[in-house]
């Protein structure tokens, strides 16, 4: 029933939005951005808290090679604050990100934060790292994973960092390993948009960790795919109340106020695929620009080039389109997974989806 | 080419979302809520600033018959803060609305605020109104209207109040008179949802003032209607950068923190019809509950019944659906209008829209 | 009993803080900033709502000569949101101030906003002002003034603008005419700080409209002056719950995020003189920088020089000191006033205050 | 030179503010609130990162005996967001605190968060804790402590919990072990206020972790004690940029919006002792009410009693006074400490302070 090779939505001719994608259609199209995963899949059958089965992992996003030294301008937005992010308030106050971004499961945030602290101390041993603001975001993978076990350990974070690459692997990998979205298997997805030269030529990349949405609400390019799929799938997984994390990267010359405006548009993208930001869905957005890095202890005055706000709308649209497509990629790239207590979450049935889309004459 | 009678979307068999509507499918389904308009249409031809042509008006929403005495719990949310609302910060601090809500054009906010002050003093002459927080929201109707003329005067506000009714007139009336949305004539729209008894039986009503959106982005129930309509209409109106105001009313027992959560979901509804919250689009949401009114100078302790947040998601969905439908109603009910400098904004061509929808097999 | 000439605190040898003042010890030490007042004092005796007695006015602050064309970077902070400011939300979203700042009484905000709209249209008749964000802040002068009368009319605002000067008049003038602070006559006060060259050489100017505070809480340089003064004055004026508006100007090269950080420090200054930000005290801060003006419709990219946040603390201290001193100046410069219903509010008794200070050996 | 027994400020006759204190003058005067510390002091001499010397610890505050089951209404406020708190955003969204509050050093936040997760899972083994929002706040003790070592481990947190008591130990204990405030040894302080029956009879308790302030700015009851003390102490410690955490507890019936208003008043208290909220000083406030506990998965509707906002000012004043006194207690109760690299931070010289206060005739 399942495809051997699950492709990204665009490879099936499903085109989201009007803007061009970047070369990799990935957050790594923003130069310097790299992503690394470490995936933990261990054990089967009945849940024994602390002992598995394990379906979880960690994902790290690096805006550049040494973010502690070359801090980037950043901002965050809370769509729905039922979640446990670490580090966002300082990002808001200073407009700076100085940490790799860690993604993991809800109960593993403490360990991953500590691992990022350790990593930052070690990789900057020539300077005295006496303060550091680790950034970790999370979704809840407890439907498939022994979440109480906090199975992501320090060395898994370090291995994820070793795995850093500008080739971003999607689907049930890293932090996405145990996630559920729209009743199907969710996880990591990414997408990008490259503005035309006339609009500034900037790149916007988005990476999502999807664990949100009710099957009945899923829309692809507006087609109510979820309503039709629901006839074939049982309902109970939909109880899982979810969460979604959206990371927005750009090379546009923006300050933190403007990045916050970009971050807010992730909500529009999430809504287009059918998200309702339900009570229990922790939805957080972190946006950064790789332009204008800051080594903030060095100099008194910066010279910054900043885009006029009047030219932001294309960047807003790019965020919306890339968020929408990244969510769909996370679904398309995630295979069926069986987890704790033999809970099964199916990969979205691509053939069936394509059939539905064709029947509405909307794509390809 | 235009229909003599423009009906609401639902009357054409277009069903938005899954929940039931209230008896009037209107914000006035929330008991006690009334809406009044005053419309100004005067003059034709070339703009003479201060002298017309005039295509504007004012709309007032009353949560109850004397909101100054019976303040309601309220909250606001800023989707995109390029706008000139009055009164929201105090609503946020105190969680209370003590003013009728006035809607008008951008440059008329001062006069409408002053008129609401005068009205409140007059209608409470037995008590000393020495402080009062008027609430006014706006969109920019300058494409059709001599906006510099600030043609809405005090007596127009009072007349709108005289026109208060629980039968809400939609389309190019009141504050909606000169608005443009998705390249078509926008204005006032409303819709409601009534939750089942199992979900609490609460009513959510939404009223929108629409002046936002690019034609190409318009979606109805997911169908990219705007993309197809665009073939028939010229582009220039799309420059108009818009704004949208969303008023959310409910009888659910919510505190201001919870109402803010509801208010945030208007963004999801706006996104579903294709809004991208562009740079220049002032998008503000004001939500109130008619339960638990407060005469705050009287008593020391209130006994309030408050809904557990875990039961909010159906109310979120109701806000989303009602916002989406209210926007569509504002379009369907607005006729073609010619304004200043002979600018013409067409009413959305309903027959054409229905044809497009039928061709996608999505409605009716 | 009262001094013929009321001087500013510093002229009595009362030195607040450690930093140097600017040449005028005024907000106008920030180059380009001007302030104008129009004062309305009419009638005596019993209040006849709408007919007086009148003890009110309007104050305008211009960051430069044409703020609509040369917008300045700005930010706001809400210490306590029980107040009716106009225009702050857009300032927050765009980080720009495009309006003269109007100060007036609570119920006059609508008229003053409309007057600023009219002024801006008129003074920019060569460009099409179809959108504009007027900024008005207020305190409540109803203890002395017929506030329901909204006696500040359009022409008074225009006259205040004619009165613009870099010589800032303090005390019971303009918007300060009818204000009460710490049980004494409050009103307009200003002060400035000039950082040493080593700290950047920047100037910070503060202007306050004071209408807050309980007599018992008043401290001058830490000395509990209010507690001692209270023995001589009756209590009832203290019921007046107040408000205070703080305008912070600087020539330091700051973005809006940083200006918001400065704005937050006004709370520290207010606290030092004894403010407790009581429930009914609307306390709002608006901060702007005259550096980096923006004519935002013109160009795509700005080159900005921005101060590193690590060097902000001296500016914070400057805001705190200047706020504290500006509040004291507003008290020292305000003479006794009799208003509606023969309410009398005494000017702070300077000789007595000096005597108390001397007895503590803290000043001069 | 140092006193054998350091007492609390009030025991020296220094009375802060006008309100009565609670029986213990402690956050534990709010019924049910308990505090536990674990202190780590190990090694001497030169810093060997990861190996000491260790001058740090952890403090836990329990609003009640099982906060996960009996969540309390809560809110937070950011005075200055240069800090690394965990858990505040969810507190803001839901208005609920479901975690013991952990205090520790900046780089130990991850481990302490993980320990609170483990503790919560273990102590609720009969229910499935699959989601949990740990709350941890921090200050930076790197002047005295080998902060990179993250010497606070899981078992130290558990021991702090074992040490829970309503007798709150102050000074250089727990998280306060290595802190510096106003150039002197800082740490943990607490104080409370009990409103008269006429004002509702409510109790407000405050606990602070102090690591902020410049010596020259220290004021006690307004007296510029710091300026005079500075003559006797060298300056370099003042470089330490600080931070302060304020925990506000009350039994008043408040919702989260109101608690946020209380939280904001901590800034007034901090300012009174001379705080300027400098750039690097992370200043965060967390406020909770023990009234109206919420077991939020159980019931659909709550009946809550809520205080009218018009009666909040006495609670504001209580927060301000208790914050001011708690800060002073943290100084008075902290003895001289020698830490890493033989850095010495002196306990504030109480006899000298009393002498200065006496010379101003302000206390006792």
Residue with structure tokens 């950043």?
A: A74
Residue contact A299–C311, C-beta within 8 A: no
Confidence of residue A2 (pLDDT cuts 50, 70, 90): low
Residue B298 has pLDDT above 80, yes or no: no
For D96, the closest chain A residue by CA position comes to A82
For chain C, report the end-to-end CA distance as a whole number of angstroms.
23
pLDDT, position A11:
97
Domain that holds residue B187: 9-359
Q: Based on the structure, what is the number of domains in chain A?
A: 1
- C78's tokens: 């809400």
pLDDT, position C1:
44
Average pLDDT of chain B, as a whole number: 94
Range in A297-311, B245-259, B263-277, D182-196 the model is least confident about? A297-311
pLDDT, position B294:
84
Taking the C-alpha atoms of residue B306 and residue D73, their distance in angstroms, rounded to an integer, is 13
Average pLDDT of chain C, as a whole number: 94
Q: How many helices (H) and strands (E) does chain B have?
A: 8, 15
Q: Which chains touch B (3 or more CB pairs under 8 A)?
A: A, C, D
For A269, the closest chain B residue by CA position comes to B271
**C289 - beta bridge partners?**
C73, C250
CB A356 within 8 A of CB A225: yes
Digit-coded pLDDT (tens) for D95-141: 999 999 999 999 999 999 999 999 999 999 998 899 999 999 999 99
Residue B202 has pLDDT above 90, yes or no: yes
Asked whether residue C2 is domain-assigned, the answer is no
pLDDT, position A1:
45
Digit-coded pLDDT (tens) for B206-261: 999 999 999 999 999 999 999 999 988 866 565 557 899 999 999 999 999 999 99
Asked whether residue D328 is domain-assigned, the answer is yes
pLDDT, position B181:
97
Residue with structure tokens 């302060």?
A: D244
Taking the C-alpha atoms of residue A294 and residue A302, their distance in angstroms, rounded to an integer, is 9
CB D218 within 8 A of CB D182: yes
Asked whether residue A4 is domain-assigned, the answer is no
Digit-coded pLDDT (tens) for D300-353: 888 889 999 999 999 999 999 999 999 999 999 999 999 999 999 999 999 999
What are residue A208's phi and psi, to 5 degrees? -120, 150
Can you tell me whether residue C108 is helix, strand or coil?
Answer: helix
| Radius of gyration from C-alpha coordinates of chain A | 19
Ranges of H-type helices in B34-178: 88-94, 109-122, 154-162
- B357's tokens: 């929808």
Digit-coded pLDDT (tens) for D232-241: 886 656 555 7
- The 3-class secondary structure across chain A, one letter per residue, is CCCCCCCCHHHHCCCCCCCECCCCCCHHHCCCCEEEEEEEEECCCCCECCCECEEEEEEEEECCCCCCCCEEEEEEEEEECCCCCECHHHHHHHCEECCCEEEEEHHHHHHHHHHHHHHHHHCCCCCCCCCCCCEEEEECCCCCCCHHHCCCCHHHHHHHHHCCECCCCCECCHHHCCCEECCEECCEEEEEEECCHHHCCCEEEEEEEECCCCHHHCCECCECHHHHHCCCCCCHHHHCCCEEEEEEEECCCCCHHHHHHHHHCHHHHHHHCCCCCCCCCEEEEEEEEEEEEECCCCCCEEEEEEECHHHCHHHHHHHHHHHHHHHHHHHHCCCCEECHHHCEECCCCHHHHHHHHHHCCCCC
**C193 - beta bridge partners?**
C204
pLDDT, position B62:
98
pLDDT, position B293:
86
Taking the C-alpha atoms of residue B239 and residue C342, their distance in angstroms, rounded to an integer, is 57
Give the nearest partner residue to C302 out of A294, A296, A306, using CB atoms.
Answer: A306
Which residues of D lie closer than 8 Å to B, measured between beta carbons? 93-95, 200, 253, 255-257, 261, 294, 296-297, 299-311
Can you tell me whether residue B43 is helix, strand or coil?
Answer: coil
pLDDT, position A295:
79
Q: What is the ipTM of this complex?
A: 0.96
Taking the C-alpha atoms of residue A256 and residue A95, their distance in angstroms, rounded to an integer, is 5
Query: Which of A59, A353, A92, A339 lies closest to A209, judged by CA?
Result: A59
Residue contact B310–D302, C-beta within 8 A: no
For C280, the closest chain D residue by CA position comes to D310
Residue C303: list chain A partners with CB under 8 A: 303-306
Average pLDDT of chain A, as a whole number: 94
Asked whether residue A270 is domain-assigned, the answer is yes
Asked whether residue A331 is domain-assigned, the answer is yes
pLDDT, position B302:
84
pLDDT, position B232:
84
Element (H, E) at B337: strand B337-338
Taking the C-alpha atoms of residue A8 and residue A184, their distance in angstroms, rounded to an integer, is 16
Residue B338 sits in a domain whose CATH number is 3.60.70.12
Residue C303 has pLDDT above 90, yes or no: no
**B288 - beta bridge partners?**
B74, B249
Asked whether residue D89 is domain-assigned, the answer is yes
Find out whether the peptide bond into B325 is cis, omega within 30 degrees of 0: no
CB A37 within 8 A of CB A160: yes
Residue A26 has pLDDT above 60, yes or no: yes
Annotated catalytic sites of D, by residue? 243, 281, 283
One DSSP character per residue, C344-364 reads EEPPP-HHHHHHHHHHTT---
Query: Which of C352, C358, C361, C359 lies closest to C231, judged by CA?
Result: C352
Give the nearest partner residue to A93 out of D80, D117, D131, using CB atoms.
Answer: D80
CB C314 within 8 A of CB C195: yes
Residue contact D224–C362, C-beta within 8 A: yes
Residue D59 has pLDDT above 90, yes or no: yes
pLDDT, position A361:
74
- Other Cβ atoms less than 10 A from the Cβ of C44: the count is 14
Residue C346 has pLDDT above 70, yes or no: yes
Asked whether residue D364 is domain-assigned, the answer is no
**Which stretches does DSSP call E strand in C49-119?**
54-62, 71-80, 96-97, 101-105
Using CA atoms, how far residue A220 sits from A190, B353, C2, in Å, is 16, 21, 77
Residue contact C129–B148, C-beta within 8 A: yes
Digit-coded pLDDT (tens) for D245-292: 999 999 999 999 999 999 999 999 999 999 999 999 999 999 999 998
Residue D364 has pLDDT above 70, yes or no: no
Residue A287 has pLDDT above 70, yes or no: yes
pLDDT, position B1:
45
The fraction of chain B above a pLDDT of 70, given in percent, is 95
Between strands D54-62 and B243-250, the pairing is unpaired
Residue contact B303–D303, C-beta within 8 A: yes
Digit-coded pLDDT (tens) for C84-122: 999 999 999 999 999 999 999 999 999 999 999 999 999
Smallest CA–CA separation between B190 and chain D, in Å?
28
Asked whether residue C65 is domain-assigned, the answer is yes
Model confidence, pTM: 0.97
């Amino acid at each position: 029933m399942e495809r051997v090779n699950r492709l990204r939505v665009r490879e099936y001719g499903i085109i989201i939005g009007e803007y061009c994608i970047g070369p990799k259609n990935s957050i790594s199209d923003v130069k310097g951005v790299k992503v690394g995963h470490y995936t933990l899949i261990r054990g089967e059958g009945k849940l024994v808290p602390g002992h598995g089965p394990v379906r979880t992992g960690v994902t790290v996003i690096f805006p550049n090679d040494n973010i502690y030294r070359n801090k980037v301008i950043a901002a965050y937005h809370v769509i729905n604050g039922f979640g446990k992010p670490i580090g966002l308030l300082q990002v808001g106050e200073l407009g700076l990100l100085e940490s790799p971004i860690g993604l993991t499961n809800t109960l593993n945030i403490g360990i991953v934060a500590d691992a990022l602290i350790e990593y930052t101390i070690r990789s900057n041993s020539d300077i005295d790292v006496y303060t550091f603001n680790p950034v970790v975001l999370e979704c809840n993978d407890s439907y498939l994973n022994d979440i109480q076990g906090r199975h992501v350990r320090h060395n898994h974070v370090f291995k994820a960092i070793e795995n850093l690459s500008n080739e971003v692997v999607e689907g049930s990998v890293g932090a996405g390993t145990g996630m559920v979205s729209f009743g199907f298997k969710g996880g990591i997805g990414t997408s990008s948009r490259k503005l035309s030269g006339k609009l500034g030529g900037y790149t916007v990349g988005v990476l999502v960790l999807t664990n949100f949405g009710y099957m009945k609400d899923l829309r692809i390019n507006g087609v109510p795919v979820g309503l039709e799929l629901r006839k074939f799938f049982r309902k109970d997984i939909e109880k899982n109340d979810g969460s979604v994390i959206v990371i927005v990267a750009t090379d546009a010359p923006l300050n933190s106020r403007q990045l916050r405006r970009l971050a807010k548009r992730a909500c529009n993208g999430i809504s287009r695929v059918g998200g309702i930001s339900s009570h229990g869905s922790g939805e957080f957005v972190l946006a950064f620009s790789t332009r204008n890095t800051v080594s903030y202890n060095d100099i008194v005055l910066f010279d910054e080039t900043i885009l006029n706000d009047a030219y932001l709308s294309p960047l807003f649209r790019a965020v919306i389109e890339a968020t929408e497509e990244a969510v769909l990629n996370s679904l398309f790239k995630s295979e069926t997974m069986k987890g704790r207590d033999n809970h099964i979450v199916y990969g979205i049935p691509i053939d069936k989806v394509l059939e539905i889309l064709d029947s509405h004459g909307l794509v390809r």
